[in-house]
Amino acid sequence: MTPRIFIANRGEIAVRIIEACDRLGFDTVLGVSTADRATLATRRAGRVVTLGGPRATDSYLDIDAVVHAAIATGCTAVHPGYGFLSERPAFARRCAENGLTFIGPQPEALEALGDKLRARALAESVGVPVSAGGTAGTLAEVIELADNIGYPVLIKAAHGGGGRGMKRVTDATQLAEAWQVASAEAEVSFGDGTVFLERYIEDAKHIEVQILGDRHGNRVHLGERECTVQYRYQKVVEESPCAALPAATRALLHDSALRIADALDYIGLGTVEFLYDVERDTLAFLEVNPRIQVEHPVTEAVTGIDLVREQILVALGEPLPFGQADIRVTGHAIECRITAQDPARAMAPAPGPVKRWRPPMGGGIRLDSHIYEGYSFPPYYDALMGKLITWGEARSSALARMSNALDDFEIGGITTSLLLLSRIVGHSDYLANTVTTRWLERILDEGDN
């Protein structure tokens, strides 16, 4: 019997999953909101069903609607993509209860990783480096903890992500208000106001390791990605591998990621994230994202491995077709996230009609997108329009190809991040690989050229 996969997501990742299923010969059913009936994914899926209204809570986040639609269309598995229901243990359990394979980790792993404090404790228990930090119950304890850590500190939500419930504090006078605001944001966004403190690393690079495990005890890493160029904790440009890592630190990074994967008996795709202190040449564990990542194409570009294909197959019980010794990282890849945002207005969303869409073409260029000319970009979801990926034999050649590709990309009728991306990849700091996680904020908020 041919597997039939229900895709509980939208946008470029829905198109990407459909493509992987097509190559496998699997049937696809796409669940959409009423706002997404005219996306490229609806043209590509084998069948399309409407989950509910345009708001995510009425469609993509409605567990009952998703499970019912998957069962009613005869699906055998559900792919949640990223975001939405991809990290919800309750959704994974509901799938299992109804005979649907959840294409992701087991619910126990999702629960352990959904709580950053538990994940931090797990990392410490297997000897993975973490930054100084912890949580506290009273304001007096919070102040004492911050004094022991040393300023600046970062307040983080124990559940969720995307920069919500996250505050940077430079001195004790800001701490009480920031703690309360961060907790309130976390409560509203994630239904849990638990927050904690960590040392804030001023000159940090954000580095993550792609892991993959099957149901037969096999686990591998597929190298690392650097995701340092961020704006208010939202990733903008990514690359693989990280050119700033010494060999010994890279080995520690990969080993640490696999230790966590082994401790979790991890099944499926996952990403173990770290901060790298450039000045001290030290790593600190951040979290594990138990799903496909937006930036997965750069790993595919340098390894030649179709991550979505492997993610689907291991969820269906297939063993990995390769071991660690078979994986090779060749060349360098860059990814730029093209978004419907206005850099002149602090990256404010800019939905609207796409009157012109002329992507670049050529060797070493890839575009993952759900956009086409005439598409009306909706205001209800994230601003991602597509991901432009370039590959080169070296970082310099991948960057040169990206610069040319961005210059050749024509988008009309809507404000986008294209010019900002061109500015980033052509900036002397980025070319020299000296950027850190707050670099882009300085460029945009302070007008630094």
Of 19, 54, 18, the C-alpha closest to 36 is 54
Between helix 296-303 and helix 307-315 the angle, nearest 10°, is 100
Instruction: For the chain, give the longest Cα–Cα distance.
Output: 64
Distance CA 74, CA 100 (A): 10
Distance CA 379, CA 33 (A): 13
Beta bridge partners of 386: 338, 369
Q: How far is CA 147 from CA 142, 169, 174, 404, in A?
A: 9, 12, 13, 48
Distance CA 6, CA 17 (A): 10
Catalytic residue among 291, 337, 395, 401: 291
Structure tokens at 354: 């796409």
**Length of the chain measured in residues:** 449
> Which phi and psi angles does 397 have, rounded to 5°?
-75, -35
Residue 17 burial (CB count, 10 A) = 29
What contacts 171, CB < 8 A, 6 or more positions away? Answer: 151
Helix (H) or strand (E) holding 420: helix 418-426
Identify the three-state secondary structure at position 320: coil
What contacts 236, CB < 8 A, 6 or more positions away? Answer: 229, 230, 336, 337, 417, 420, 421, 424, 440
DSSP secondary structure string, 215-246? TTS-EEEEEEEEEEEEETTEEEEEEES-TT--
Helix residue spans in 98-171 (DSSP H) = 107-114, 116-125, 139-149
Q: Does residue 215 have an active-site annotation?
A: no
Structure tokens at 316: 């269906």
* Torsion 129-251-110-30 (CA) sign: positive
Distance CA 431, CA 229 (A): 12
Identify the three-state secondary structure at position 101: strand
Find how far residue 224's CA is from the centre of its chain. 13
Q: Mind telling me the catalytic residues?
A: 291
